[in-house]
């Protein structure tokens, strides 16, 4: 082997992209299925436990020799460099490796998305009914008791609802809680536009907020972006707020609220779609998010843009609450005792939200180091900042949870601000 090849192998430190791992069985053998956590990569990889042990060390810090030494200690067997390359190649072909091949794939996807005028529905048929003829009745059924709040009575509210918080868990599991959030909105006059603060599950740290000027399509029709408000954000915040707009392509948290807004007000309701990235950096820093110029600047820019355009908007936070159990890194399944503790923890955070106490809400999360992983923190906090001085109070309409087959749970709530 030439000297330069030896040097290349010594310096090669493969890095796997964020993936979800699931145990599967094939012909009586236990295997591990890997898929892209962000949904960007179309492929999957199925690995043996030994190959998964190797892939788990593709962290950008372990070199070939490090992996070989750990494999030898674990199994007592020699792992040849060619086998490591083979595993890396398998992952790379599925776009699961952080590599030049994936970088080019991502550039192509971003280019294609940038050229679109309309963001197509990405979750129809998986998270909700895709057939347009069936979708209306399917959504109506979400409102039906005993889980739902009852059908909306249009015109029974004199004033438009100003703000609400709804889940972003898929509608198959959390649809009735969406209905509790959206009923009041559907009973009042339609707003001029709906500002949707979605949770960016895979967004970049910079910027903290990601907007797009694309219309959003669902099986019910297309909701246009509110151009004057969007352009107001662009003038005040610059093009940086649109730089990572590809994040909207696969993110479901805005799409689900667009669907509910279309059901409430008609498919043509204008929208202002914005994704809020994680506020986790503030949990450890001791800094209040509202003191950060990125957060403060966005809140001020949105307020000014809405006022300049003369819009009476419905503000929506698309936010789930706690995430606990093995799927989220906990060893313990979400049994009755765990869920009782989670509900109590949620209740405290929800009291802060309903009291319009953004600082208290975030302080509570910081005190526990976000132990239950509330993924709607950024949306809820930003919504409270936008509503500061409004005189509104939150009304908790419904608090619920869902537990999957792994014993992992997600909690969520419906809140209206009145």
Tens digit of pLDDT for each residue in 44-59? 999 999 999 999 999 9
The second-level CATH assignment, the architecture, of 118-417 is 3-Layer(aba) Sandwich (3.40)
Distance CA 19, CA 317 (A): 27
Strand order in the sheet with 29-36: 19-26, 29-36, 44-47
pLDDT digits (tens, 9 = 90+) for 274-320: 999 999 889 888 889 999 999 999 999 999 999 999 999 999 999 99
Percentage of residues in the chain with pLDDT exceeding 70? Answer: 97
| Nearest partner of 195 among 387, 377, 415, judged by Cα | 387
Output the pLDDT for position 10: 58
pLDDT, position 2: 40
Lowest-pLDDT range of 15-24, 118-127, 153-162: 15-24
67-114 pLDDT, tens per residue?
999 999 999 999 999 999 999 999 999 999 999 999 999 999 999 999
3-107 topology per CATH: Outer Surface Protein A; domain 3 (3.90.930)
The answer to whether 3-107 and 118-417 have equal CATH topology is: no
pLDDT of residue 6: 45
pLDDT at 204: 59
Nearest to 247 by CA among 292, 305, 318, 198: 198
- 102-111 pLDDT, tens per residue? 999 999 999 9
pLDDT of 402 above 70: yes
Q: What is the mean pLDDT of residues 321-339?
A: 93
Q: What are phi and psi of 213, to 5 degrees?
A: -105, 15
Q: State residue 387's pLDDT score.
A: 98
Per the listing, tokens 């060893």 go with 331
Distance CA 111, CA 289 (A): 32
Distance from C-alpha of 15 to C-alpha of 55, rounded to nearest angstrom: 9
Say if residue 3's pLDDT is above 80: no
The answer, yes or no, to whether residue 205 has pLDDT greater than 70, is no
Query: How confident is residue 7, by pLDDT bands cut at 50, 70 and 90?
Result: very low
Q: Dump pLDDT digits (tens) for 252-275.
A: 999 999 999 999 999 999 999 999
Kindly indicate the confidence band of residue 37, based on its pLDDT and cuts at 50, 70 and 90: confident
Q: What is the average pLDDT value for the chain, to the nearest integer?
A: 93
pLDDT of residue 253: 96
Does position 1 have pLDDT exceeding 50, yes or no? no
Q: What is the pLDDT of residue 9?
A: 61
Whether 409 and 174 have beta carbons less than 8 Å apart is answered as: no
Whole-number pLDDT of residue 327:
85
- What are the boundaries of each domain within the chain? 3-107, 118-417
The token duo for 363 is 């302080």
User: What is the reported pLDDT for 206?
Assistant: 65
In the numeric block, which tokens belong to residue 106? 């991502």
């Amino acid at each position: 082997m030439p000297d330069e090849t030896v040097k290349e192998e010594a310096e090669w430190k493969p890095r796997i992209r964020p993936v979800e791992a699931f145990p599967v069985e094939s012909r009586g053998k236990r295997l591990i299925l890997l898929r892209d956590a962000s949904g960007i990569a179309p492929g999957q990889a199925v690995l043996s436990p030994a190959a998964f042990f190797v892939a788990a060390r593709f962290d950008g810090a372990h070199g070939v020799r490090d992996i070989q030494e750990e494999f030898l200690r674990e199994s007592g067997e020699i792992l040849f460099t060619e086998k490591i390359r083979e595993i890396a190649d398998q992952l790379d072909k599925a776009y699961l490796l952080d590599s030049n091949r994936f970088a080019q794939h991502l550039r192509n996807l971003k280019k294609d998305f940038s050229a679109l005028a309309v963001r197509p529905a990405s979750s129809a048929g998986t998270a909700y009914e895709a057939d347009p003829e069936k979708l209306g009745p399917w959504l109506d059924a979400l409102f039906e008791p005993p889980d739902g709040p009852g059908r909306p009575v249009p015109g029974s509210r004199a004033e438009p609802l100003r703000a609400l918080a709804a889940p972003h868990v898929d509608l198959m599991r959390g649809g009735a809680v969406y209905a509790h959030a959206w009923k009041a909105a559907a009973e009042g006059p339609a707003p001029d536009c709906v500002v949707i603060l979605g949770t960016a599950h895979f967004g970049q740290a910079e910027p903290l907020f990601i907007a797009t000027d694309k219309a959003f399509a669902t099986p019910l029709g297309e909701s246009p972006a509110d151009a004057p408000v969007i352009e107001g954000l662009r003038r005040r915040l610059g093009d940086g707020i649109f730089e990572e707009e590809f994040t909207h392509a696969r993110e479901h948290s805005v799409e689900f609220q667009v669907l509910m807004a279309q059901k409430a007000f008609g498919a043509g309701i204008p929208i202002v779609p914005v994704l809020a990235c994680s506020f986790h950096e503030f949990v450890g820093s001791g800094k209040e998010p509202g003191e950060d110029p990125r957060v403060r600047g966005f809140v001020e820019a949105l307020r000014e843009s809405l006022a300049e355009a003369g819009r009476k908007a419905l503000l929506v936070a698309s936010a789930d609450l706690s995430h606990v159990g093995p799927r989220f890194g906990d060893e313990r399944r979400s049994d009755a005792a765990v869920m009782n503790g989670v509900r109590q923890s949620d209740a405290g955070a929800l009291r802060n939200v309903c009291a319009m106490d953004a600082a208290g809400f975030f302080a509570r999360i910081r005190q526990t180091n976000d132990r239950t992983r509330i993924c709607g923190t950024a949306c809820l906090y930003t919504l409270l900042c936008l509503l500061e001085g409004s005189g509104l109070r939150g009304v908790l309409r419904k608090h619920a949870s869902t537990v999957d087959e792994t014993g992992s749970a997600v909690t969520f709530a419906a809140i209206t601000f009145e």
